[in-house]
Chains A and B, each alone.
Chain A
Amino acid sequence: MTSIQVEIQLIAAVTAAACALPGVFLVLRRMAMMSDAISHTVLLGIVLGFFLTGDLASPVLIIGAALTGVLTVSLVEVLNRTRLVKEDTAIGLVFPVLFSIAVILISRYAGDVHLDTDAVLLGELAFAPFDRFTPFGYDLGPVALFLMGSILLVNLAFIFLFYKELKLATFDPGLAAALGFVPGVLHYALMGVVSVTVVGAFEAVGSILVVALMIAPPITAYLLTDNLARMIATSALIGVAGAISGYWLAHLLDASIAGSMAASFGLIFFVVLLLAPRRGLFATALRRVRQSGEFARTLLIIHLLNHEGLPEAEQENNMEQLHEHLRWEPDFTVRTVRQAVQLGLVSRLNGHLVLTESGRGFARQAIVR
């Protein structure tokens, strides 16, 4: 690995971790699409900041972008509060307007400047290491690494400091308001953090893939754990894993790094979706099969118990006719009986089924339950 390759991976990993942290709360608060809206509208902030300073590297651009992010959220809220449109429609109305204004401003007044909408939307991670951070002539590393590193620290600090408040406002906004935690303020603070992260990240990966970085790791982690702290940590880890594997996928295929990162997040999600220990599709299917077997066995022993010692037991508990009485498929009946025998719940006695001692106990318990 060359040092450039290491640096690209470092930038990718730090960016992914920085995005995954606020992403967790977006996903839990059902505001995932707000990241999509913000990632489009920050373009307006960047353009306006550029007109103000005439400098594409100025920090004013980041502040402007963060402010437009918050503006987006408040416009959506204002529209939503009129109750004339639903929230999803409000988002769908607001961000195209701000984005259109930005595109028109660029094409009319900044056409000859290097404010390339493609670059903003798509980003190019491969070029990030060439922009060096050189205070007083010392080359400390790529600017992007420092920028995303500081954003990661800010996000970590935000979540660490306001963990309790965020948790409460996310899962029980009513209680949070009643206890005086001003969920509204926290909401805007979170949106501010999201905006800053989006701005920082899309220089590296482009605005649309910021959405992948913000949503894919948290929803993958959501399938793995029920604990908020663990979900945050898992998201960050998945973010880093996806970023690095995405880089190598791009290397292997000689394709766009940002695109490959998104694709690798898709793959990770798919694998987790299939194999997650408790919520995965396999685990769920397996559990369903096991439960249906268990249910059938319980039904069988209750049936045996009901007719035990009665005159009709001869007929009811006969292996040949059992499936008719239980209204089961013959195959299924044979399978269930075999399992029940293996588990020592029933035993066969010349063509009849008899409950064992433990089988009788289980059946009685099942009835009581």
Chain B
Amino acid sequence: MDIGTLLHDLIFDYTLRTVALGAGVLGIVSGALGSFAVLRRQSLLGDAMSHAALPGIVISFLITRSKAPLPLMLGALVAGWLGTLAIMSIVRTTRIKYDSALGFVLSVFFGAGLMLLTFVQRLPDARQAGLDTFLFGQAAALLQRDVITMSILGGAAICILALFWKEFKLLSFDIEFGASVGFPMRLLDILLTTLIVVAIVIGLQAVGVVLMSAMLVAPAAAARQWTDRLGLMVAISAAFGSLAGVVGAVMSSMVPRLSTGPTIVLCISAVVLFSLLLAPNRGLVWNWARHQRNRRKLRLEAVLSDLYVLASQHEDQDHSHSIAVLKAMNRGQGGVKRSLDEMEARGWARQVQPQEWVLTSSGREEASRLHQDQEEVER
């Protein structure tokens, strides 16, 4: 499929357009809010809350008997919110640690949801909420009204985020200071967590429970590598999230039997890998290159200094020294020959006979400067 038809389909094909739009909206909302979850070390909260939402969805379905998105989302919201409160109060009132509380609430809420789901399955009009959809998401089944609901909820969440920007920033970086200036930090914590639950609820239908946590964590983890500023990080994270959403949706529509949710997750994970390796400053590749450069510099200085010391022990400054001696002085380091070659290229040393080296006058100057620097440092 060439780009032209793809663009044409993206605009005029109902299913593809809906799915891509839905995934894009989801990516923006979860990317923006996920930044806060990641910064506050609550990356796994998303996982816990998306599981904890199940009983809410089932109960809401049992009450309304409809699959309209809004009541189901509200049910999920309430259950996810209760789950979070349960986690917070377990950690506050007992000595149980955060991770255990998270796992406990996640599995117990989910189990309770499963139990309730058996009642749904026994209903005479067994139009059940669709466990499959809930677990793995079913982006292909997204309808335009779903996308509209998602956009409204997500838009509201982003607006609140913008409104409380300063407070949430304080909450993420310096709670004590915020409390001392008089902000209600507990309430803000609950508000921010509620917004994260909103983002999760939006995504459940598109990518499902299991993969929703990736949509929160991955864009933010990738964006974190590119910047140290919160505003920029949130923007990059939202951009990464929506990009991965749209690309994943398009890819899964082009390849038969390629589920949308997992494809989106693989896309965003590829972005994470790229960022971890190649982001400026923090990227692992640059880090490694920097490390190599430093090592080479240190080795060069070591060989230069060795040669200088050897030369100073001889009356004749042009007396050459064998590479074997230098190697012995740098045992376990290696790379002596390479350092010598580099010194020759810089005009600090020259090879008088094969395997025999001597410092040039500029090399001597360089070495004595190095020694002086070192003495100064030691002083």
Contacts and interface: CB of A to CB of B under 8 A. Distances in A.
A53 B310 CA distance: 66
Which 4 residue pairs of A and B lie closest in terms of their CB atoms, listed nearest first?
A: A262-B111, A259-B114, A96-B214, A212-B107
Contacts of B160: none
Contact of A88 (B43, B96, B276, B284): B43
Given A33-B44, A259-B115, A273-B94, 8 more contacts: A96-B269, A100-B214, A100-B261, A122-B131, A209-B111, A212-B107, A214-B103, A253-B115
Interface in B73-109: 90, 93-97, 99-104, 106-109
Contacts of B364: none
B108 A266 contact: yes
Contacts of A222: 95-96, 100
Nearest to B105: A266
Interface of B: 38, 41-44, 46-47, 51, 90, 93-97, 99-104, 106-119, 122, 131-132, 135-136, 210-211, 213-214, 216-218, 221, 224-225, 257-259, 261-263, 265-266, 269, 272, 276, 282, 284
Contacts of B132: 118
A269 to B, nearest CB: 7
A212 B51 CA distance: 12
A279 B135 CA distance: 37
Interface in A72-103: 79, 82, 84-86, 88-89, 91-93, 96-97, 99-101, 103
Given A101-B266, A281-B93, A36 B103 contact: yes
Interface string A263-305: 1011001000100000101001000000000000000000000
Given A208-B110, A219-B100, A254-B118, A88 B95 contact: no
Contacts of A35: 103
B115 A255 contact: yes
B118 A108 contact: no
23 contacts: A27-B96, A27-B97, A32-B99, A32-B104, A36-B103, A84-B284, A86-B38, A88-B44, A91-B44, A92-B216, A92-B217, A93-B221, A93-B272, A97-B266, A100-B214, A101-B262, A208-B106, A208-B111, A209-B111, A218-B100, A219-B104, A253-B115, A254-B118
Contact of B258 (A79, A97, A104, A265): A104
A209 B110 CA distance: 8
A63 interface: no
Interface of A: 27, 30-33, 35-36, 40, 79, 82, 84-86, 88-89, 91-93, 96-97, 99-101, 103-104, 107-108, 111, 117-118, 121-122, 208-209, 211-212, 214-216, 218-219, 222-223, 250, 253-256, 258-263, 265-266, 269, 273, 279, 281, 284
Contact of B103 (A89, A211, A254, A258): A211
B245 to A, nearest CB: 14
A262 B112 contact: yes
A118 B135 CA distance: 8
Contact of A36 (B95, B106, B282): B106
A96 B265 contact: yes
Contact of A259 (B46, B111, B136): B111
Contacts of A40: 210
A208 B107 contact: yes
B118 A255 contact: yes
Contacts of A215: 100, 103-104, 107
A256 B115 contact: yes
B257 A255 contact: no
Given A33-B102, A93-B272, A222-B96, A262 B284 contact: no
A94 to B, nearest CB: 9
Contacts of A107: 257-259
A31 B99 contact: yes
Nearest to B218: A93
B100 A259 contact: no
Given A100-B262, A101-B262, A103-B136, A262 B118 contact: no
Given A85-B221, A92-B44, A96-B218, A250 B115 contact: yes
Contacts of B38: 85-86, 89
A214 B135 CA distance: 21
Nearest to A210: B107
Contact of A256 (B96, B118, B261): B118
Contacts of A84: 224-225, 276, 282, 284
